[in-house]
Amino acid sequence: MTRRLLLAAFATLAVFPLQVLAHEGHDHKVLGTVTMAAADHVMLKDKDNKDVTVYLTRETKVLKDKKPVKVEDIKTGLRVVITATTVKENNVEKMVAKQVELGAAQPTR
C-alpha cells in the first residue's frame, strides 16, 4: 500500500511541471539597505549584497516603530524589511511590496 502511494506521488510530480510548485503570489521577506527610493519603487542591497528592486503601490503600508509613515520617509541608507509578493506583468516577474518596515540607518565605518 505504501509503495502504491509513493508511486502515485512520483507520477503526479512527473505530470505537473515544477513551475506550478513555485507559484507566484506568495509572500517573500526582503531585508536590506535602501540604495535608492522613489514614489513607485525601492532599490536595496540585500544581505548577500545583491541589488533588489521592489515596487510600491497605493496599498503598500510603510511603518516605522509599528506606526504608519509616508512613502517619502523611505530614505537612502535605511535598513528595511519588506514583505512583498511576486506578480507577473507582461511575462515579467516583479516584486510588489505589501509592507515596508523602516529601521535604523546603516552605520558608517
The tens digit of pLDDT for each residue in 77-90 reads: 999 999 999 998 88
List the grid coordinates of 58: 497605493
Measured CA to CA, the distance from residue 8 to residue 105 in angstroms comes to 52
> How does pLDDT run across 17-28, given as a tens digit for each residue?
433 333 456 788
Provide the residue ranges of all domains of the chain, joining segments of one domain with +.
24-105
Residues in the chain: 109
CATH of domain 24-105: 2.40.50.320
- For residues 70-77, average pLDDT: 95
Overall pTM surpassing 0.85 (yes/no): no
